[in-house]
Amino acid sequence: MSYDYFYEEQSEQFAFYRIPKSLFTDERFRGISTAAKVLYGLLLDRVSLSAKNQWVDPEGRVYIYYTLDSIMSDLMCANEKATKMLKELERYGLIERKTQGLGKPARIYVKNFVRSRKTGVQSHENRESGLTEIVIQESRKSNGNNTDINKTNINDTNLISSTDEKGIEERSIYRKYFMNSLSIEALKERNPCDAEIIDEMLELIVDTVCSKRKTVGIAGEQRPFEIVKSRFMKLNSEHLEFVLQGMSDNTTLVRNMKQYLLAALYNAPLTINSYYKSLVNHNLSTGGKGKEIAL
């Protein structure tokens, strides 16, 4: 069978299982097989559904049901391999199984490995875990490029979200999604003095992805909505901290904070790597005593 190519933003049409990147990049999990990591993604996908179904124990912990037969069917593997993958995840502390007896399936607790049981503090790795799946069908055109975040005297910041029942529900879904994917609460814990700005960024991101306009004004230029939305869907907590650092370093008077943040967030995924690379090179050349490079 011959399949078609992807064109522009068509990849956004799919629903995805989300496997935390940390499982592949963190040294703690290097010994876990790829198949077991995929299984963790499937288990994680069921957590939000269990929460909606109120499958919560007396201690408030969400559990799921996922039988060996279901795992074998979903991953097209034999009983022995399915059992081995579950034991792998248990050995690394990523899940906990509790038998119930009387022929009932075991409860499976999917562990949030970026959250400490003692402190409750989440790390930077949280950007990949606990995400709410969003399945909202939309079709818009796309195109776009780079911008200058200092062009802040633009008044085109009214993003016009739908206020009907469907629009309100859509906004609620996206807000929950970004609360999780951007680790907003953990971000506030790490940056308590910037809590209000973090909230403002969250609301601005939600307003933007829920906009009903065909274009979004960013730094004086109209960007196709689908490109802007795609860029914002790739944001994580490190990008927000990058923007906060840029605001701290910036010495230019910002006349329109909303427009400044919109442009900074839009540019963050493109500029964060080059910024930190330049900063590292600068510090190496000055022995770490030089002045930091401002955004």
Domain boundaries, the chain: 17-110, 133-286
Q: What pLDDT, on the 0 to 100 scale, is given for residue 90?
A: 95
The better pLDDT of the pair 226, 150 is held by 226
Average pLDDT for the chain: 76
Report, as an integer, the average pLDDT of 256-275: 80
Q: What pLDDT, on the 0 to 100 scale, is given for residue 148?
A: 43
Specify the pTM. Answer: 0.44
CATH 1.10.10.10 fits 17-110, yes or no: yes
113, 21 contact by CB (below 8 A): no
Q: Rounded distance, CA 112 to CA 119, Å? A: 13
pLDDT at 124 over 50: no
- Residue 10's pLDDT band (cuts 50, 70, 90): low
Q: Rounded distance, CA 196 to CA 34, Å? A: 40
Least confident of 110-119, 166-175, 268-277, 279-288: 279-288
Nearest to 121 by CA among 112, 109, 110: 112
pLDDT at 42 over 70: yes
